[in-house]
Amino acid sequence: MPRMNLSGASAIVTGGASGIGEASARQLAGAGARVVIADLQEQRGAAVAGELGGAFVKCDVSSADDGAAAVAAAGELGPLRVLVNSAGLGRAARTIDRNNRPMDLGVFEFVIKVNLLGSFNMLRLAAAAMAGTEPVDDDGGRGVIINMASVAAFDGQIGQAAYAASKGGIVGMTLPIARDLCACGIRVNTIAPGLIDTPIYGQGEEAEAVKAKLGRSVLFPKRLGAAEELAYMVLDLITNPYMNGEVVRVDAGVRLPPR
């Protein structure tokens, strides 16, 4: 059985201006796809899209209109075959703080809105477009959706209630959505990254110290992962026609401790 051929297809990568999304966009373009970078970061997003011969759409993944604009832009480049949902963020806050004050509900709501609702918003819009394309293979396959959860979905740390809930939601919706979309020949897989060296940890001395400490907690190899290593898995899950409905940890064996 051949791998899925991406040449001539279009792909949307949310969060494609940075980190895992950017690395995925680069590998998708290398495999022949025309890539739409859908991100809030205009300058960086446009630069990456320009370099890859794709398009940039300023897009808040939690907005229905922005998502529709990204899907329309992809349709201009070729039949939409791929969505990589990599936009995401975290906000650390304990359920109650050291003075027993309850966490601000707005923080919880914001993280769920971007990570979980935003992923579903982009996914539903992309799936609707993919369903209208001609099948690409003998199985009747039309497209693939990759979501980015986190190992925090399984071993969330102190202060990660909102982030872990948002990523747990992505894990939980993976199989039912794969079931919803099977009749249209659309596969859905989710990756749970471990500790990956991207701008999500911030920049500067403090961020480097945090990353160095985190790296020592990894089983083997004892370092943070590179965004490219995550993107290898993105491409594998897209191009292997037999991967569907699965959640894959890419974490070098790390298990997050409580803090």
Ligand X SMILES: NC(=O)c1ccc[n+]([C@@H]2O[C@H](COP(=O)([O-])OP(=O)(O)OC[C@H]3O[C@@H](n4cnc5c(N)ncnc54)[C@H](O)[C@@H]3O)[C@@H](O)[C@H]2O)c1
Largest separation between any pair of C-alpha atoms in the chain? 61
CB of 150 to ligand X, least distance (A): 3
Please list, residue by residue across 165-186, b when 16 or more beta carbons sit within 10 angstroms of its beta carbon and e when fewer do: bbbbbbbebbeebbeebeebbb
Give the interface with ligand X as residue ranges (CB under 6 A): 14-15, 17-21, 39-41, 59-62, 86-89, 114, 118, 148, 150, 193, 195-196, 198-200
CB atoms within 10 A of CB 131: 15
When the beta carbons of 51 and 97 are compared against ligand X, the nearer one is 51
163 is catalytic: yes
Active-site hit among 163, 201, 232, 242: 163
When the beta carbons of 136 and 251 are compared against ligand X, the nearer one is 251
Say which amino acid occupies 105: L
CA distances to 12, 40, 94, 128, 208 from 259, rounded to whole Å, are 35, 30, 12, 41, 18
User: From edge to edge, which strands make up the β-sheet containing 34-39?
Assistant: 55-58, 34-39, 10-14, 80-85, 143-148, 186-193, 247-250
Q: Which of 14, 251, 258 has the alpha carbon at shortest distance from 119?
A: 14
CB of 25 to ligand X, least distance (A): 11
CA torsion 198-203-209-214 (nearest 10°) is: -20
When the beta carbons of 49 and 136 are compared against ligand X, the nearer one is 49
When the beta carbons of 17 and 173 are compared against ligand X, the nearer one is 17
When the beta carbons of 20 and 237 are compared against ligand X, the nearer one is 20
Q: Distance (Å, rounded) from C-alpha 124 to C-alpha 145?
A: 10
Catalytic residue set: 163
